[in-house]
Amino acid sequence: MPKKSPRLIELKGLSAEELEKALRVLYAPLRIAPLADPLQLELLSASSDGITHFQTQCNGGVVFEGQGGFDGYNFAHALAGSQQLRTRDGRVLTAQADETLVSDGLEIDSVRLSHGMALRGLSIAADHVHRRIAELTDAPLSSRVQFEVDPTDRTGRIRAALALGDALAAGIAGAAPLKDSPLALANLREAIVHLVIGVPSNYSDRLTEVQRPKISPAYVRRAIEYMHANRGVPITVTDIARAAGVSPRALQWAFQKFHGTTPLVYLRRLRLEAVREDLLAADPPASVAEIATRWGFVHMGLFAQRYRQAFGETPSQTLKRRRG
C-alpha cells in the first residue's frame, strides 16, 4: 500500500455534518451528535503513514457514534473535562482530567466528550502494532492486542508516546522540517510504535520473553522461510520438515519451544494474514468465499471464526470497509 505524505489538518467552526464528512476521510465513518447548539469543537491532527496525533477541545459536549470502525488502536490523555467510551459489547470506560484511555478502534460503539473537554491522543493503524509485535516475537499474532485499562499510565509509555506525537505535529507544521527528512520521520514513527507496544497487554509476557537470549535454530528459520514462500500451495508438516532439514518430530518440538505453537498453526496464521491483505485490496466482484478458498480455507464457518479471533472483525466487515 503506498505511503501518504504527512499532513497537518485543523478543523474549527464546522457543523456536525461538515465534521462528519471530514472525519470520514481522516479517521472512519462517524455520526456526530452535539449535546449543545451550535457545535463547538476544535480538532488539530497531524498524520504520517498510519499514525495520527490529535488535539481536541470541546465546549458544550458531543457524542461520536461509530459506523464502520477504525482498524487501529487509540491512546488518549484527558487534559480537562471527561471522556466516556462505550464498546460494542456494552463496557463503559471513563477518563477524567489527567487520565488516559486506550481503546481498540474496532470495538468502539460511541465516545462522549463532556463540556470543557480537552484531550490529546494518538491513533495508530493496527498493521503497525501487529507487525512490530510479530517481528519482535518472531511469530504471527494469534489475536488482536488487548491493552490493559490503566487510567494512571503507570508505565509512562503513553505520555512518552504522546510527547513524540507532539514532535511529529511540530515537525510537519510551518517550515515542516520532517517532510524533508523521511528517515527522521520514519524513526519517529517507529519510536512511537515501540513505546505503545510496551503498554501492558495480552502480549506483554511474550514481549518480555524475547528480551531473554532465545534464538531460533537455523532449521526453524528455514522452515518459516519455506512457509512464507509456499503459503499459497498445499504443504504438509513433512514437506516443511524436509525443507528445513530435520524430522517432523524435531520441527514440532522446536516450534513449541521457540514459538509456542505448531508449524501448521503458524502456517494457518500466515494464510489468514494473506486473506486479510487480499480483502483490503479487493475490487468488485471479489467475494470473501472466493478469496478464502484461494488461500486454502474451504470450511467458511470455521474460517470466519478463526479470522474474527485473529483480527477482531469478520471477513465481510474487512471487505466492506475496503469498499466503503
What is the mean pLDDT of the segment spanning 251-255?
92
Domains of the chain and CATH, by start: 1-212 (2.60.120.10), 218-323 (1.10.10.60)
pLDDT (tens digit, 9 = 90+) per residue, 173-204? 888 888 888 888 888 999 999 999 999 999 99
| For residues 239-259, average pLDDT | 92
Average pLDDT of every residue of the chain: 88
| pLDDT above 50 for 208 | yes
DSSP-derived 3-state class of residue 92: strand
User: Residue 86: which pLDDT band, with cuts at 50, 70 and 90?
Assistant: very high
Half-sphere exposure of 68 (CA within 13 A, CB side): 17
Burial of 207 (0-12, 13-18, 19+ CB in 10 A): middle
Q: Is the pLDDT of residue 210 over 80?
A: no
- 41 versus 25: the higher-pLDDT residue is 41
Residue 44 grid coordinates: 488539530
Of 147, 10, 21, 6, nearest to 72 by C-alpha is: 147
For the segment 168-178, what is each residue's pLDDT rounded down to a tens digit? 999 988 888 88
CA distances from 177 to 10, 44, 45, 122, 286 (A): 19, 18, 17, 21, 42
pLDDT tens string 112-138: 999 999 999 999 999 999 988 988 887
Give the pLDDT of residue 89.
87
pLDDT score, position 298: 84
Q: Is the pLDDT reported for residue 17 higher than 70? A: yes
Q: Residue 1 pLDDT more than 70?
A: no
Average pLDDT over residues 288-311: 90
Specify whether the CB–CB gap between 138 and 210 falls below 8 A.
Answer: yes
pLDDT at 214 over 90: no
The least confident of 80-94, 203-217, 257-271 is 203-217
pLDDT at 3 over 70: no
